[in-house]
């Protein structure tokens, strides 16, 4: 079959959370189907990636998107009932590309609800809405963590986007969520729409343990550092948790690894024991040098690739409920769950002071992801879905 695949970013290279997943989906589809891609290009790297995908056999139309400008231009929508998301990612040029390609395709596959809007006019296609997470619920969490006026903006986005998600979900042929937890949220918020779970995976050959390189008392956080949940989590960790850890383990240090650090994140480097790297070519270098991976997220949904990758590297992970709820492991066996400042401090200090226990926890985490999150296993439902469309 011929598949039209839509995503908010060109799905290559797999160097950030959404691109990891979208690239794996495209790669899997290419095994048995023709794939045409329409996506936004946020920068020159995205434009070059689109050319590379075309060379790899997935012709890609990349529509330029200036995200800052798009956000500003969407502000008048606050006076309407339309979600800002659909203004930011609304694009006549991208819609024209979809309209041109859709008649020659059999399946339309949209990754993220904003991309589903471009498939709405094309009911002839078998349409898949890959939510991964319900964006509307993310905005609810933002509203609860923010002050006015942003709390009002986020709450409004939650309400308006939820109505759009309901319309899309009930009109498309299938809805995909990445964890059973997300599916439960989906079923609570959007009754009467069919859904399936397709878990994220991790490249177990790429992320491999290197315990001999671990540095004592070295903690690491890896993530895109202009993403609000990551910024909030790291700021909370450095402000509330790290000083208490260093009071008991004076040589404890934290490295924050990830592209596009905001001024707030860069300022964290002025605190004792904190290093902010910015973009790095290979985050594995920093994961290998760490003795603990921390995931202090207070706002999160879905499954966190950063947690899977750290577990795959054999690192012990100390994370909050928000960071680990999508990982279907057992707290205490596969990772350490700690939601309060006190619990975080106690868990981290205990592991830093007992390297043998830390290595054993990391080894169990690696075994866990080997059993549950190999990409070949994780994407099996995609094969089944496409087979159903072909015969249905």
Specify the length of the chain in residues: 392
Is residue 11 within 8 Å of residue 26, measured between CB atoms? yes
User: Which residues, in sequence order, are bridge partners of residue 374?
Assistant: 202
Q: Per-residue confidence at 392, pLDDT binned at 50, 70, 90?
A: confident
Residue 134 pLDDT: 86
Report the C-alpha gap between 163 and 74 in whole angstroms: 18
Q: Look at 124-128, 153-157, 304-308 and tell me which has the smallest mean pLDDT.
A: 304-308
Q: Furthest-apart CA pair in the chain: how many Å?
A: 64
**3-state SS, residue 77:** helix
Domains (range + CATH), the chain: 2-201+375-391 (3.40.50.2000), 211-372 (3.40.50.2000)
**pLDDT of residue 301 exceeding 80:** no
Query: Given this model, what pLDDT does residue 15 score?
Result: 84
Tell me: pLDDT of 309 over 80. yes
* Cβ count within 10 A of residue 162: 20
C-alpha torsion 370→371→375→381, nearest 10 = 180
The number of beta carbons lying within 10 Å of the beta carbon of residue 280 is 14
Q: Which of 182-196, 266-280, 348-362 has the lowest mean pLDDT?
A: 182-196
Q: Are 50 and 27 in contact (CB under 8 A)?
A: no
Q: What is the pTM of this model?
A: 0.89
Query: Cα–Cα distances in Å, from 25 out to 348, 373, 378?
Result: 36, 15, 10
Predicted confidence (pLDDT) per residue in 76-113, tens digit: 999 999 999 999 999 999 999 999 999 999 999 999 99
State the chain's mean pLDDT as an integer.
95
| Confidence check: pLDDT of 129 > 80 | yes
d(CA 228, CA 41): 21
Q: What pLDDT is recorded for position 114? A: 96
Which one, of 281, 259, 278, 280, lies nearest residue 269 by Cα?
Answer: 278
Distance CA 172, CA 340 (A): 41
Which string of DSSP letters, residue by residue, matches 169-194? Answer: HHHSSEEEESSHHHHHHHHHHSTT--
């Amino acid at each position: 079959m011929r598949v039209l695949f839509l995503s908010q970013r060109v799905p290559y290279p797999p160097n950030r959370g959404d691109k990891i997943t979208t690239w794996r989906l495209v790669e899997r589809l290419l095994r048995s189907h023709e794939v045409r891609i329409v996506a936004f290009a946020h920068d020159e790297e995205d434009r070059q990636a689109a050319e590379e995908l075309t060379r790899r056999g997935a012709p890609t139309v990349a529509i330029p998107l200036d995200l800052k400008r798009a956000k500003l231009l969407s502000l008048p929508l606050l006076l309407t009932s339309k979600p800002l998301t659909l203004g930011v990612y609304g694009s006549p040029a991208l819609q024209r590309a979809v309209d041109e390609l859709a008649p020659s395709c059999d399946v339309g596959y949209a990754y993220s609800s904003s991309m589903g809007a471009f498939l709405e006019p094309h009911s002839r296609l078998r349409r898949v809405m890959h939510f991964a997470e319900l964006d509307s619920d993310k905005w609810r969490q933002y509203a609860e963590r923010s002050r006015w006026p942003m709390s009002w903006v986020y709450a409004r986005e939650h309400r308006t986007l939820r109505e759009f998600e309901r319309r899309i979900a009930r009109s498309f042929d299938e809805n995909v969520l990445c964890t059973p937890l997300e599916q439960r949220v989906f079923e609570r918020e959007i009754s009467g729409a069919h859904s399936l779970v397709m878990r994220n995976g991790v490249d177990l050959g790429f992320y491999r343990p290197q315990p001999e390189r671990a540095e004592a008392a070295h903690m690491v956080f890896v993530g895109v550092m202009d993403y609000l949940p990551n910024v909030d989590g790291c700021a909370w960790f450095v402000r509330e948790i790290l000083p208490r850890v260093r009071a008991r383990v004076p040589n404890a240090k934290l490295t924050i690894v990830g592209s596009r650090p905001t001024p707030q994140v860069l300022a964290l480097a002025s605190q004792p024991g904190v290093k902010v790297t910015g973009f790095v070519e290979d985050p594995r270098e920093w994961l290998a040098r760490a003795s603990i991976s921390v995931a202090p997220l207070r706002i999160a949904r879905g499954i966190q690739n950063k947690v899977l990758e750290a577990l795959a590297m054999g690192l012990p992970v100390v994370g909050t409920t928000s960071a680990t709820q999508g990982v279907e492991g057992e707290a205490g066996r596969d990772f350490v769950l700690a939601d309060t400042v006190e619990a975080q401090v106690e868990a981290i200090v205990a592991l830093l002071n007992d390297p043998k226990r830390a290595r054993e926890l990391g080894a169990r985490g690696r075994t866990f992801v080997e059993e549950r999150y190999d990409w070949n296993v994780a994407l099996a439902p995609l094969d089944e879905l496409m087979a159903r469309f072909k015969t249905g």
